[in-house]
Structure 1
Amino acid sequence: MKAEYLVRIAINSANLNLFRRQSKSQLGLVLKIALLFCSSAAFAQQENEINLNARYFEYQQAAMFSHLQWPESLTKISVNLLPIKNYSGIPIEQRDERPEYFYHGKLPLAMNNIFRDATLASRYFVPTNNKADYQMELILDSYQLPFQYAPDDQWWKKLHGQADRWLQTPKNASITMTIKITSGNKKIKPWMEKVQMMLSNCDLNTLPQPQSWMNNRDQITQNYLSTTPGQTFLAAANFLILKSINRIHQQPLLGQIKHKHGSTLHLISNETNFTMGETLKVYYQDADNGKSGLSAGTIKVINTDRNHAIAYPVTLRADHLKVGDWVELKSPAPYSKPLSKFRSASQCAEVVVAEVADANEG
């Protein structure tokens, strides 16, 4: 609406100027300014849109993932984060190496901490060292640095004067990563997702996603996140975490029979709340796998108190059920997408403005 209002003002102003017999070229100039406002307004409206259907993102479309504002989630899924598997051909530094190893192109060990912080920031996954619901593994498939011998564009400046490097020009930072989720306490068919992100120096986010207190105080981590490779890595990690949430969100939620009195079943769920009147599938407790693969029948919920409920059998006899048997709840509503907090830190980002010919041309 604001852009449309500006266009109307521009046209009215131009008509008034023409009426006063001023230069006809002023009409084209005013319309150019109006279209510039329209273009800026359209860009501002698009900057927060999150696209999950693509597998390749570049420039500012990729930079949008470098800082996500995650929605609150009642669901909390514990995950074991396995060490990053590196197939990029560029070694990750060891803990006992000195910082100057960075100057020779090694990847910072802080990548593991950044991925852990990004997972925790989702408000959905809870990283833990104990036995978790699922196991999550990040795979670094490819990693293109802006310069051949330096891990990012900031540290490169310290080496720019060396004779074999000063003639080189920077490339875009490009990362291809895969995430893999496998079973933990909960069963899931192994699932993988891949994405490629590419950023240039023009696409840096002025405020990348904040890290935990410890990483915010770590200068190496902060230096890395101020560079195109660091923000490319963070953007790819955020995208894969979001895709993982969508996949886990499709998993059915579970509850169990906590007590049993005759045909009255007392249920509890550590994952969600029960709904009055809903019909649930029942699965026998399997000593080997936890939950049997086939449903034994259905029960109906007649009373609820958040994550507690009372139910009665519908299609099976109560004496066939035992304490510890599982019930499967309906999948919850779709997960809300996070919002992007991208704000360009550079003035070199390209803005396309439609050209309007002057009124006195042609």
Structure 2
Amino acid sequence: MVQNEEMSQLKQQALVDINEAHDAQALQNVKVKYLGKKGSVSGLMKHMKDLSNEEKPAYGQQVNALRQAIQDEIVSREEVLANEQLEAQLRDEKIDVTLPSRQIALGAKHPLTRTIEEIEDLFLGLGYEIVEGYEVEQDHYNFEALNLPKSHPARDMQDSFYITEETLMRTHTSPVQARTLEQRNGQGPVKIICPGKVYRRDSDDATHSHQFTQIEGLVVAEDIKMSDLKGTLELLARELFGADREIRLRPSYFPFTEPSVEVDVSCFKCKGKGCNVCKQTGWIEVLGSGMVHPNVLEMAGFDSQRYSGFAFGLGPDRIAMLKYGIEDIRHFYTSDVRFLEQFKAVEDRGEEEC
């Protein structure tokens, strides 16, 4: 009888303590107090030694029932506390959907990407193909197939990164032209542009880099003349620098073209009057070009008596520097967010104009 009264009091006190537990830690303390190995319920088992063998089973059942009752109350209280915590969290962390949203910062195209895509779009519209090639190239395609045998002094014009005696980092995208001509098995027409990175052992300063981009164009067909080249370059200059631009051709030398010309465009800033951009000359040098050398055609399997062609090469880095007034080529490759963010404004203005 004494044991039953003790169990009843213990249960009542446990219920009080459970209800007064206002957080998970307090409830855990109550659980340990009553149900732990040294807890109050386990302490009831000390009375077993005073009972007869006939009374022990019934008494053990009563202790287990008390343990289960307290355990059930603790579980119920855990659910209540969890719901209260969730309601408090929802109340405190409520989202006000009427507040202005956080603006997501959007990037913009890199100025080199913008320039390259602008040039690509123009030539795609003229029916050219875009062809890409290997950045690690064979000496044969980088030089020999372009009329530059191993003993040719013009190789000194391009200080190269050699990997082995026969492989190097390409110094221009012209190997793409050589490979494409070879693949056509002497059959024209061929109209391609070749964009990509090129590498030369050059000093890194405001206007030079050991890595830069280049776009070369090639047209090979029957009856291609210098006038076709001039008309193409006039269209390119006006697309890049304005509809009122003019070009001039100056004699030059490139091993893979004959005749060869340097191409200048009338200054877009001073309209030919002379300024800091054109160095007071009224003209800006933008690219090199010429008629494809007969030797290049013959090495690729084309009949130079039947086919002729023109080729040109320009640097998007230089074009972008001129268009956007960038004074240091290294800005293109340092990934400085302060520099790149300026072109988001350029892109926005372009969208508004459209």
State the TM-score, normalized to the length of structure 1: 0.21
State the TM-score, normalized to the length of structure 2: 0.22
